[in-house]
Homo-oligomer: A and B are copies of this chain.
Amino acid sequence: MYEDFLSSIAGVVGADQVLTGDEDLVPYGFDGTAVLKQRPLCVVFPADSLQVSGCVKLAALHAVPVVARGSGTGLSGGSVPVEKSMVLVLTRLDKILEVDERNLTLRAQCGVITKEVDDAAGRFGLFYPPDPGSMKISTIGGNVAENSGGLRGLKYGVTRDYVMGLTVVLPDGRLVELGNKCVKDVAGYSMKDLFIGSEGTLGIITEVLLKLLPKPQARRTMLALYDSMEAAAETVSAIIAAKIIPCTLEFLDRMTVGCVEDYAKIGLPTDVEALLLIETDGHPVAVEDETVRMRDIALKFGAREVKVAVDEAEGARLASARRQAFSALARVKPTTILEDVTVPRSELARMVKFIRLTAERHRLLIGTFGHMGDGNLHPTFLTDERDIEEMHRVELALEEIVEETLAVGGTVTGEHGVGLAKKVFLKRQFSEASYELMREVKRALDPRGLLNPGKIFD
């Protein structure tokens, strides 16, 4: 029954850009999320926006669900296919189309690797601030669809803050261009903001117009080591109270520090309760001044030791402790479940403690690291999906962490998205009216529910 459909898709993209063989489909049945997988009907590699539009039009005609994906690094199952769906792999749309120095903008196709966006900006003395952990392999289109965060969120914000325009294929295949190079624009509803973070459920983003910033002239990195998480949290509060907004304010708990040291041999003491990675950037004098003030604050609030990097190279080495946290934890056990709860910054110390106690109560290994500056925590469950009994305890612990998060005014996902993994929790975060409001938007834009079905909503 899908023969007509598949041959017309081949007519759009070429027969060699369509996969249907069982083994060929396997790599596109999962993303970076543990446990979740599903085989699609076919996998298609369009070359440009028009081909994406053509494929989506045919899918609408044949009522075939469409799931778009870039590199498949997502951590909430947002690009895991549904049965009998067409997966659109957008990695061939990999061109940087323009860097406009005068307007500080960059235009790229959705399949460009995030780091290449920043590299291209760098060649003009500019930079693209959002730096999700996966930036060396994730695509910019995926970043926009998920509204990815990163390590510099406190000072520089998230992906949404750098999207000036989008080209989007709507669920019926129409192509629309939203936004422009104007720094201010209030003409009509901000439709681009609706597509940013919509996880492929409202439209497929094929091109992005991004805002760039001048590259900061200087940067300094330091590590502060603590014997208590409370002291680390108080340091963070004191830095903000001192009116300093560092670009990076990351932390690792004891278990994560131990795994990182075991993995990367950076020379970290493994008996610390908390490690803070702090970076400040900007004018050289301001950077020096803030570095000294933050070191003093860290020591005043009980840091056992503060290492200030002498240069960029040492700074990068210190920062690698944080960059490698997830990989280091992932080696410990067969299954790694990376959570993404986020709380108002003021609730951070309390939340970290709650997670530690929850792990003890359920006899689980949870390493926690995350973005202390913006309240975004990544409690990481080190487990084994084949151990049914332990997985049950993981579920119970996760349940308790989510409940506590919501009780203190937090969100079930700070930067990974809802996808499949968080949709059971989403309803609890929203009132009935505000949840229904989102569904109304989904129904209005995709009345037949063909775009990334089963994601976000139950």
Residues of A within 8 A of B (CB): 100-104, 125, 146-147, 149, 153-154, 157-158, 160-161, 170, 174-178, 180-191, 193-194, 196-198, 202, 213-215, 217, 237, 240-241, 243-245, 282-283, 285-286, 289, 342-346, 371, 373-376, 409-418, 422, 426, 429-431, 433-435, 437-438, 440-445, 456
Determine how close the nearest CB of chain B comes to the CB of A247; give it in whole angstroms: 13
Determine how close the nearest CB of chain B comes to the CB of A421; give it in whole angstroms: 12
Determine how close the nearest CB of chain B comes to the CB of A226; give it in whole angstroms: 19
Kindly report which residue of chain B lies nearest to residue A147, judged by CB atoms: B186
A102-B240, A240-B102 known; A185-B443 Cβ under 8 A:
no
Determine how close the nearest CB of chain B comes to the CB of A147; give it in whole angstroms: 5
Determine how close the nearest CB of chain B comes to the CB of A284; give it in whole angstroms: 9
Question: Of B104, B161, B197, B345, which one neighbours A186 at CB under 8 angstroms?
Answer: B197
A153-B183, A285-B283 known; A437-B146 Cβ under 8 A:
no
A376-B184, A418-B186 known; A161-B161 Cβ under 8 A:
yes
| Highest count of chain B CB atoms <10 Å: which of A180, A197, A285, A434 | A434
Contacting pair A412 B187 (CB below 8 A): yes
Please give, as numbers and ranges, the residues of chain B lying within 8 Å of A376 by CB-CB distance.
182-184
Contacting pair B213 A184 (CB below 8 A): no
Contacting pair B433 A440 (CB below 8 A): no
Please give, as numbers and ranges, the residues of chain B lying within 8 Å of A429 by CB-CB distance.
187-188
Please give, as numbers and ranges, the residues of chain B lying within 8 Å of A422 by CB-CB distance.
187
13 new A-B pairs (CB below 8 Å) besides A101-B241, A184-B371, A186-B416?
Answer: A104-B240, A170-B437, A176-B437, A178-B434, A182-B343, A184-B375, A185-B414, A187-B429, A188-B435, A188-B438, A189-B441, A437-B445, A444-B444
Please give, as numbers and ranges, the residues of chain B lying within 8 Å of A411 by CB-CB distance.
180, 182, 184-187
